[in-house]
Amino acid sequence: MMASGQNPESSLVEIIELPQHPFFIGVQYHPELKSTVENPHPVFAHFISAARDYAEQKSAVKNPLLQSEMI
């Protein structure tokens, strides 16, 4: 676990990440308060991008057990 963001006024850790994970981030601040549908906060935009990439990778690998059930 890596403390990747700190409040400059109080020195409290506000963001943590797991660098070896495709997308794991925890934040103490409230990005939803600065986010809209037309202008999402970067945390949400990167989460959607990581989820899309993960889904594309999973769909590229065919599971033989699932394929046999579909026949």
pLDDT tens readout for residues 4-45: 999 999 999 999 999 998 889 999 988 889 899 899 999 999
Specify the pTM.
0.65
35: left (phi over 0), alpha (psi -120 to 50) or beta: beta
pLDDT tier, 3 (very low <50, low <70, confident <90, very high otherwise): very high
Which segments of 7-65 are extended strands (E)?
13-17, 25-27
pLDDT tier, 54 (very low <50, low <70, confident <90, very high otherwise): confident
pLDDT at 18: 95
Residues forming a β-bridge with 34: none
Comparing 43 with 66, the larger pLDDT belongs to 43
For the chain, helix (H) and strand (E) counts, in that order, are 2, 3
